């Protein structure tokens, strides 16, 4: 299948362009915000206890997380995947509209935002992480779909029937007459990631919150998110094309695999610890 002639720009207003990539972040953040509000407004999920945060606190938290995603994602990409940009093309660090965002960098940025917000508002850190975790797959879903529309982060070569040739006239024009991905079929790994890291991970966490009372198990949801994301990402690295400027790591490892390993370990430990604890008893109201 030849890659469709997607235009990454939805609307061009003079020098100002509205890109699908930016809209993907906006959609993920807005839907995540509304979903988090719905979670705290569903009393049965909390087992008779007060929710971790109020809707008003979630409104404030959205701004903190947005800054964490953008700053962490971009800085992480530069540090993990393109450190030479710092001294060769420093102006490109600010050009986030060209793509180049690291999930692991964004994850670190969000974690820092949650830590600071929890301290400022005297909220239990792990419980706040449990509230943020179920909404994160929504952002991942839209982000991976935007990667596909941009024709970036494509997979390794393949002969499967659904392989995609990431080359068309628009890409040739942008890349000086050639296609970086070549004119051979590749795995549409962006869509694999959207399905696993977005749809499937959302459903797993939804099941945990609505069927297994994980919002009442401190640290359980945050751990389950890290564990599942780490597993999915490490597995998909086998069909995702490593960045050309990355060195050859031993044992066939990729940067994505190595960055996912701490998530796997920490996530597994948090889930194990959460499952050892009994579900919290409802709070009693004094007459």
Nearest-angstrom CA–CA distance, 265 and 235: 15
> What 3-state class would DSSP assign to 180?
coil
Name the maximum alpha-carbon separation found in the chain: 77
Nearest-angstrom CA–CA distance, 206 and 226: 15
Answer whether 215's CB lies under 8 Å from 279's CB. no
Nearest-angstrom CA–CA distance, 81 and 102: 8
Q: Is 44 annotated as a binding residue?
A: no
Answer whether 133's CB lies under 8 Å from 218's CB. no
> Taking CA 51 as the corner, what is the angle to CA 49 and CA 57, rounded to the nearest 5 degrees?
155
Total Cβ atoms within 10 A of residue 266: 16
Nearest-angstrom CA–CA distance, 256 and 74: 15
* Strands, E assignment, the chain: 9-13, 16-19, 164-165, 185-186
Buried-state track 87-96, b at ≥16 Cβ within 10 A, e below 16:
eeeeeeeeeb
Total Cβ atoms within 10 A of residue 16: 7
Nearest-angstrom CA–CA distance, 217 and 271: 9
- Binding positions: 144
């Amino acid at each position: 299948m030849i890659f469709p002639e997607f235009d990454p720009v939805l609307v061009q207003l003079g020098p100002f362009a509205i890109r699908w990539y930016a809209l993907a972040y906006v959609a993920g953040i807005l839907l995540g915000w509304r979903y988090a509000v719905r979670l705290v407004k569903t009393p049965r999920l909390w087992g008779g206890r007060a929710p971790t945060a109020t809707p008003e606190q979630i409104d404030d938290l959205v701004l903190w997380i947005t800054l964490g995603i953008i700053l962490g994602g971009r800085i992480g990409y530069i540090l993990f995947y393109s450190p030479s940009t710092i001294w060769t093309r420093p102006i490109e660090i600010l050009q986030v509209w060209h793509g180049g965002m690291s999930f692991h960098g964004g994850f670190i940025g969000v974690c820092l935002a949650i830590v600071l917000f929890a301290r400022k508002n005297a909220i239990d850190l792990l419980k706040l992480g449990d509230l943020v975790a179920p909404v994160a797959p929504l952002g991942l879903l839209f982000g991976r779909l935007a990667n596909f529309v941009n024709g970036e982060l494509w997979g390794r070569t393949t002969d499967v029937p659904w392989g995609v040739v990431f080359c068309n006239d628009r890409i040739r024009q942008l890349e000086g007459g050639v296609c970086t991905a070549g004119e051979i079929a590749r795995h549409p790994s962006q869509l694999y990631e959207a399905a696993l890291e977005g749809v499937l991970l959302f459903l797993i966490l939804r099941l945990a919150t609505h069927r297994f009372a994980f919002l009442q198990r401190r640290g359980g949801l945050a751990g389950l998110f890290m564990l599942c994301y780490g597993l999915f990402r490490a597995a998909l690295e086998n069909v995702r094309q490593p960045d050309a400027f990355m060195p050859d790591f031993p044992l066939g490892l990729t940067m994505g695999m190595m960055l996912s390993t701490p998530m796997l370990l920490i996530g597994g430990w948090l889930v194990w610890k959460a499952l050892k604890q009994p579900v919290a008893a409802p709070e009693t109201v004094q007459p």
